[in-house]
Amino acid sequence: MESQSTIIGVVIALIIILPLILLQLSQKSKKKKSKESFINEALKSKLKISDPDFWGTYYAIAIDEMANKIIYSKIIEAKQNITIIDLSQVNSCEIVKTHRTFKNKTTNKIETDRIDLVIGYKTASNSKKVLEFYNVDINIEMSNEIELLEKWETKIKNRIIKKVQAA
């Protein structure tokens, strides 16, 4: 009787653990393919990227310091959307957070829906570029997005300031 209980326990444990392992392996594979694809897109665009950052399964950003360009990628429905920004055409960079407030009987809870890096251009003919760093509909839980946003905002602002001072 004990051996049957042990076998049943092992089978139940496998039924619970095996899907979790397969899910984790699948996500790891997606991240690896995403990174490779991002680097290949940068090479196709003749960019020599340095300091790339990858977060979640869907996002990537890097800079080509010599060309003074940012390359950003977001995967939507298995399609990689690439944005290349020439920093010599940029005059502003800011973090924009979108929140939602939930009210219950005693307290208000504020939840972050999105956090974006908004890039403004020198000419009015170019609309602002919005680089999404966090979206609650894609990533339920935030990890290191705030640190990455602050890092890239500082990096971009420093390059804008250097260009203004040189002019």
Task: Identify the residue with better confidence: 148 or 29.
Answer: 148
% of the chain exceeding 70 in pLDDT:
95
Domain of residue 33, residue span: 2-166
Specify the amino acid at residue 39.
Answer: I
Residue with more model confidence, 159 or 30: 159
Q: What is the pLDDT of residue 71?
A: 93
For residues 70 and 81, the answer to whether their CB atoms sit within 8 Å is no
pLDDT in tens, 49-84: 888 998 877 889 999 989 999 999 998 777 888 999
In the predicted model, what is the mean pLDDT of the chain? 84
Average pLDDT, stretch 141-156? 88
pLDDT band at 163 (very low <50, low <70, confident <90, very high): low
pTM for the whole structure: 0.77
CA-nearest of 59, 58, 62, 30 to 43 is 62
What is the model's pLDDT at position 1? 58
Number of domains in the chain: 1
Average pLDDT of the segment spanning 110-131: 86
DSSP code per residue over 28-54: HHHHHHHHHHHHHHHHHTT---EEEEE
Tokens coding 144: 């290191």
On the question of pLDDT at 167 being above 80, the answer is no
* pLDDT tens-place string over residues 95-118: 998 888 877 778 888 788 889 999
The confidence score (pLDDT) of residue 123 equals: 84
Is 70 exceeded by the pLDDT of residue 164?
Answer: no
CA distances from 148 to 25, 55, 127 (A): 25, 9, 23
